[in-house]
Amino acid sequence: MLGRLNHVALAVPDLVAAVAAYRDTLGARVGEPQALPEHGVTVVFVDVGNTKIELLEPLGETSPIAAFLEKNPSGGMHHLCYEVDDILAARDHLKSSGARVLGDGNPKIGAHGKPVLFLHPKDFFGTLVELEQA
Amino acid sequence: MLGRLNHVALAVPDLVAAVAAYRDTLGARVGEPQALPEHGVTVVFVDVGNTKIELLEPLGETSPIAAFLEKNPSGGMHHLCYEVDDILAARDHLKSSGARVLGDGNPKIGAHGKPVLFLHPKDFFGTLVELEQA
């Protein structure tokens, strides 16, 4: 069921500084910031060849990463996103295995314009897992 | 400088339960546990096609992930490992950019038998970064 790692999302308090660290210090290929107000983040994609790192900065009053940054003011690893072929089949398998799907259990359209679900971190040893229909 | 994402390391308190979650609940390809006493961990590789997830459980009295699991008893994302072509050139560039290399600044032989360095998480927004000479 589980496909490739689509991205690793890192929450950062200062996107300009994070871009400088990844582009200049680490020498990575870093894109332009994209404001996604409907998702409550501004995102920068770092292309590392085989997958993407997403640097996320809160945008707006109800950002989904605001609480994480309150607990981790320096930033940190926020979630891992894996691709699946069929998100509804994946959801049904996960629920039948006892894993908790966040929200109302129905896929939403994620930041890449594709259906996504998030799984409860307590069911995956402290890691927030996103599934995206590739 | 920065190459592909070699792996994402997840620290877990119970490797048997984590293997079950990744293999049975998520349907991932999961390898056999490998005890690496010289690195203080038992590791299971999860092959997700484009990169690897490494599930790490502490092994022995001086495990490098013991303190992390004391702070995060359920487990969590521990570090990201990127590949570089030349680890000494990477180190020199990082140091000249003001980034802090952990330990004595010299590469050690990592869990894959290749030279590795770790960078201070405070310089990378709360993410512990490992570099491995590919």
Question: Would you list the DSSP string of A77-112?
Answer: EEEEEEEES-HHHHHHHHHHTTPPBSTTSS-EE-TT
ipTM over 0.90: yes
Q: Using CB atoms, which residue from A17, A48, A74 is nearest to B4?
A: A48
Q: Are B2 and A51 a contacting pair at CB < 8 A?
A: no
Q: Using CB atoms, which residue from A49, A76, A121 is nearest to B127?
A: A76
By residue range, what is the domain housing residue B34? Answer: 5-133
- The pLDDT value recorded for residue A44 is 97
Residue B45 forms contact with A (CB below 8 Å): no
Q: What is the pLDDT of residues A38-59, one digit of tens each?
A: 999 999 999 999 999 999 999 9
Chain A residues lying within 8 Å of B11, measured CB to CB: 125
User: What's chain A's average pLDDT?
Assistant: 96
Examine the residue annotation and report whether A130 is marked as an active-site residue of this protein.
yes
Q: What is the pLDDT of residues A19-36, one digit of tens each?
A: 999 999 999 999 999 999
Q: What share of chain B is helix, strand, coil (3-state, %, to 5)?
A: 25, 35, 40
Which structure tokens are listed for B28?
């991932």
The domain that holds B10 is classified in CATH as 3.10.180.10
**How many domains does chain A divide into?**
1
Please state, in angstroms and rounded to a whole number, the distance separating the CA atoms of residues A57 and A51. 20
- The pLDDT value recorded for residue B84 is 97
Chain A residues lying within 8 Å of B5, measured CB to CB: 5, 8, 48-51, 53
